[in-house]
Structure 1
Amino acid sequence: MKILLVDGTIIGRKTGAILEQVQTYIKDFNPDMELVMLSLADYEHQFVDGRPLGEYNKDMQEIVHRFENADGYIIATPIFQGSIPGVLKNTFDMLHPRTMRYKPVSIVANGGTYQHHLVIENQLKPILDYFRCLVTPNYVYTHTSHFDDTNTIINEDVHDRLRELARVFVQYAEMSQNLSKETIDNP
């Protein structure tokens, strides 16, 4: 299985640090999974405006193809101004509604206040529900105090929650292999 670990921002290092830790824990539970990082900071983005995919630049097309070719996702996002970054929402806007259907997804996020975890519940989960993803019930929200000056996670509770997230994600991924991605209804 190919799992896309999505760093959903173009600035900062904390979401990437969380993804690297999740990658390590997933490998502990299933070393056979192919884990591929996708950092949105590595691409030249265009605003999504409804054009056909072929009319966007190669970077935007590559992002879409990487999502299409993945069997599951770990979505990492910072919370800015009480919301997910525009670049992450723009990426979701590029995807066909069936792209992520019945594929497992886990969420990790970080922010500067403890209240921002609600963005996951109020913004990110509804988007993933629209795509009909298999969203794991546990997500991990981190606060800036959980990191040291080098963006290393120093909080043991966060490590425990990331391990649990990885364990549950692997089980969802295995379960999803038996689900048909075909549908008899419209998107």
Structure 2
Amino acid sequence: MEDTRTLKLVVVSAGLGVPSSTRLLADRITESVRRELAEDGREVDVRVVELRDLAVAVANNFVTGFPAPALEEALEAVTGADGLVAVTPVFAASYSGLFKSFFDLVEPDALTGMPVLAAATGGTARHSLVLEHALRPLFAHLRALVVPTAVFAASEDWGGTGDALTDTLPDRIVRAGRELAALMGTTTRRLPSEPSPADLFA
């Protein structure tokens, strides 16, 4: 039976400024994913989670053990999505503390099978390895399906021409958006409460 339901895309942005290059990158990636799904005849409902607005609630959760309503709603949106775009600024050669703290609150199996597009922003291209040494391992640990193309945007990428190996930022966004859209349209996630085939024979 063909799946015709509206897909849920959640975008987590860890930018701290208003406006921020992190949110700008998140919005451009989101539009790319939406466009690819529309061309395939799929409708998508987009929810943006601005971690800046949840910073105090995230910290309080670690102290009290209980999420505030807005934080609980955000976590439920992330774990119930069909696809996730996760974008962080680079601090000290890694993802931001707020970004990591938010995903530390996600239940260990809640992102199993979740298609994820990882992205980051930074001042210079020398920080781009954060995608491979920090973001990709984080989501692999959470058992998510990270798309092959991760997107890094340095200051010079906005309006830049790229090079023979990296292409331009718009090209990378289009490619990554196409990969996430393809996974969202074909992947059937197993929710944590559902037994895996291995569990049935344990």
For this structure pair, what is the TM-score category when the shorter chain's length is used for normalisation?
Answer: 0.7 to 0.9
The SS at the match of 1:2 is: strand
Contact 2:124 2:156 survives alignment (8 Å): no
Contact 1:9 1:88 survives alignment (8 Å): no
Q: Is 1:10 aligned with 2:10?
A: no
Match of 1:173 among 169, 184, 190: 184
Match of 1:155 among 134, 155, 160: 160
Q: Which structure has the larger Rg over C-alpha atoms?
A: 2
Q: Is 1:104 aligned with 2:131?
A: no
Contact 2:15 2:21 survives alignment (8 Å): no
Q: For 2:32 and 2:124, locate their aligned partners in 1 and report how far apart those are by CA, in whole Å.
A: 26
The SS at the match of 1:60 is: helix
Match of 1:28 among 9, 20, 35: 35
Structure 2: state its 5+ residue gaps.
Answer: 1-6, 162-167
User: Please, what TM-score do these two structures have when normalized by structure 2?
Assistant: 0.79
- The alignment yields a C-alpha RMSD, in angstroms, of 1.9
Residue 80 of structure 1 deviates from its aligned partner by 1.1
Aligned residues with identical type, % of pairs: 23
User: Please, what TM-score do these two structures have when normalized by structure 1?
Assistant: 0.85
Match of 2:52 among 19, 41, 44: 41
Aligned AA for 1:15? Answer: T
Contact 1:9 1:87 survives alignment (8 Å): no
Structure 1: state its 5+ residue gaps.
Answer: 148-153
Q: How many residues align?
A: 176
Runs of 4+ in 1 over 3 A off after TM superposition: 48-52, 179-182
